[in-house]
């Protein structure tokens, strides 16, 4: 059941510790993932291929609104969590409400911290922590032409 992949912060910390004790490499990424599209799927598939387990930090609805504006998210956090958990390449989904995932990254202690190539290692929140603890920080090329914002604009123009 996909809902078992959606875990509280405390559950996620315990699960990550279990995986780490088994010698599994944990990849962590985060985002809003509002209106899932090909770019998200490509990114998450590639993320999972870098390690044994993929942990996804998902912004809460309140967090998305603070970042993207009062009309977002389009899809609520429950639905976004369920959709992300339904992907076979996502092993765990946990919500975060803070302005950045820094605290969550420090609690999960991933081996690999990942973002899209619209970031640099210097601009990735938590990179310093992961690097200082022997992990790596990677970026993945994004699929050009796919973004939730551009999809919303295209929908708006059709009316």
- Give the pTM: 0.93
Query: 29 falls in which pLDDT band (50, 70, 90)?
Result: very high
pLDDT in tens, 74-133: 999 999 999 999 999 999 999 999 999 999 999 999 999 999 999 999 999 999 999 999
Integer-rounded Cα Rg, in Å, for the chain is 15
In the block, tokens 């962590």 appear at: 28
Domain that holds residue 130: 2-157
What pLDDT was estimated at residue 156?
78
50-88 exposure pattern, b = at least 16 Cβ within 10 A, e = fewer? bbebbbbbbbbbebbeeebeeebbbbebeebbbbbbebe
pLDDT digits (tens, 9 = 90+) for 119-152: 999 999 999 999 999 999 999 998 887 777 777 7
List alpha helices for the chain, DSSP H: 9-21, 38-49, 61-68, 77-86, 102-108, 127-132, 148-157
Rounded to 5°, the CA angle 39-45-49 comes to 145
Number of domains the chain contains: 1
CATH number of the domain residue 18 falls in: 3.40.50.620
């Amino acid at each position: 059941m996909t809902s078992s992949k959606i875990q509280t912060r405390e559950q996620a910390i315990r699960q990550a510790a279990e995986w780490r004790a088994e010698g599994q490499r944990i990849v962590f990424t985060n985002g809003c993932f509002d209106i899932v599209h090909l770019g998200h799927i490509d990114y998450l598939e590639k993320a999972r291929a870098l390690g044994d387990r993929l942990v996804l930090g998902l912004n809460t609805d309140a967090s998305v609104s603070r970042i993207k504006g009062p009309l977002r998210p389009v899809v609520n956090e429950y639905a976004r969590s369920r959709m992300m958990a339904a992907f076979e390449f996502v092993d765990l989904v946990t919500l975060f409400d803070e302005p950045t995932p820094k605290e969550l990254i420090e609690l999960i202690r991933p081996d690999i911290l990942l973002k899209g190539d619209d970031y640099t290692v210097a601009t990735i929140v938590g990179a310093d922590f992961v690097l200082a603890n022997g992990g790596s920080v990677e970026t993945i090329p994004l699929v050009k032409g796919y973004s939730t914002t551009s999809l919303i604009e295209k929908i708006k123009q059709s009316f």
